[in-house]
């Protein structure tokens, strides 16, 4: 085994890369804020559009699927799942565009390219945290309840969700540069992902005999675990420890694989731009 292929060599490179990424943390933050302000500068509602989009979708599904699934008539239930899904879907879409939309930065500046998908996730995180505050307000008005000590779970699940989304964004950014058509595929992937997640349909649907084949792989969906933990933290659902463990595993696996694939490829990005 040569020095350049030994585990110690790659570990050293990773440590140096993380140090450089940390040194560029302010750059990542200002890039995220700049994109955030530019994206909302031409609209009257600005940031509220990040919250309004999943709210409007929740209302649409509330009126349509509420007639089919009795459990889906709870708008708080719908919103709690839609906000979580929207965070991941935005991260996937933004990650695919993060490199292509910043090609001039890549040509003129030297910095860890992971800064770009990271800035995208930071931008989405701000909107997501605002949406959680809106969810709590809606729950207080419609249900007359607020979460208790369970809300502390947010300090666990939000960082895990962030790491998971960073992995997603990194994978999308890695693939979108040499394969531009992936941007056309992602909206369809997100739509299927939405329908396979426990957002529109209630969990009781999995108990029906007709849904047994669907139930066998439904909990393999990473958002199944994340949404379960968020609902335990925010709207009073019982916490399933298995879902918390699954969230940790998904965050670690997708985060490590996504970031690793991206970092290993980033030296070849410029040739495809």
Report the alpha-carbon distance of residue 94 to residue 250 in Å, rounded.
20
And the tokens for 52? 């309004």
Q: What pLDDT was estimated at residue 1?
A: 47
DSSP state for residue 238 in the 8-state scheme: P
With a cut of 80, say whether residue 79 has pLDDT above it: yes
What single-letter DSSP state applies at residue 147? -
- What is each CA distance from 170 to 49, 120, 133, 174, in whole angstroms? 25, 10, 28, 6
User: Sorting pLDDT into bands at 50, 70 and 90, what band is 36?
Assistant: low
Per DSSP, the three-state class of 12 is: helix
With cut-offs at 50, 70 and 90, classify the pLDDT of residue 223. Answer: very high
CA-nearest of 132, 129, 167, 146 to 247 is 167
∠262-267-269 over CA atoms, to 5°? 75
Cα–Cα distances in Å, from 198 out to 85, 111, 160, 179, 220? 10, 39, 19, 31, 12
pLDDT at 166: 94
CA-CA distance, 55 to 74, in Å (whole number)? 13
- Give the mean pLDDT of the chain: 80
Q: What is the pTM of this model?
A: 0.83
């Amino acid at each position: 085994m040569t020095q350049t292929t030994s585990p110690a060599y790659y570990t050293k490179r990773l440590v140096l890369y993380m140090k450089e990424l940390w040194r560029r943390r302010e750059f990542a933050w200002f890039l995220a804020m700049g994109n955030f302000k530019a994206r909302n500068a031409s609209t009257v509602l600005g940031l509220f559009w990040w919250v309004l989009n999943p709210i409007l979708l929740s209302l649409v599904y509330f009126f349509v699927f509420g007639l089919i699934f009795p459990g889906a008539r709870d708008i708080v239930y719908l919103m709690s799942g839609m906000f979580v899904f929207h965070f991941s879907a935005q991260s996937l879409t933004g990650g695919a565009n993060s490199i292509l939309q910043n090609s001039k930065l890549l040509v003129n500046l030297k910095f860890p390219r992971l800064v770009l998908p990271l800035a995208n996730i930071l931008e989405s995180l701000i909107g997501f945290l605002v949406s959680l505050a809106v969810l709590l307000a809606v729950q207080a008005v419609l249900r007359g309840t607020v979460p208790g000590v369970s809300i502390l779970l947010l300090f666990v699940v939000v960082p895990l969700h962030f790491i998971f989304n960073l992995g997603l964004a990194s994978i999308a950014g890695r693939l979108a540069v040499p394969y531009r058509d992936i941007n056309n595929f992602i909206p369809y992937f997100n739509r299927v992902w939405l329908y396979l997640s426990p957002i529109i349909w209630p969990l009781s649907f999995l108990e029906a005999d007709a849904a047994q084949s669907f139930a066998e792989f439904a909990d393999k969906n990473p958002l199944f675990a994340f949404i379960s933990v968020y609902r335990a933290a925010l709207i009073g659902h019982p916490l399933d420890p298995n879902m918390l463990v699954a969230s940790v595993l998904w965050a670690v696996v997708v985060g490590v694989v996504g970031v690793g694939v991206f970092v290993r490829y980033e030296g070849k990005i410029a040739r495809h731009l």
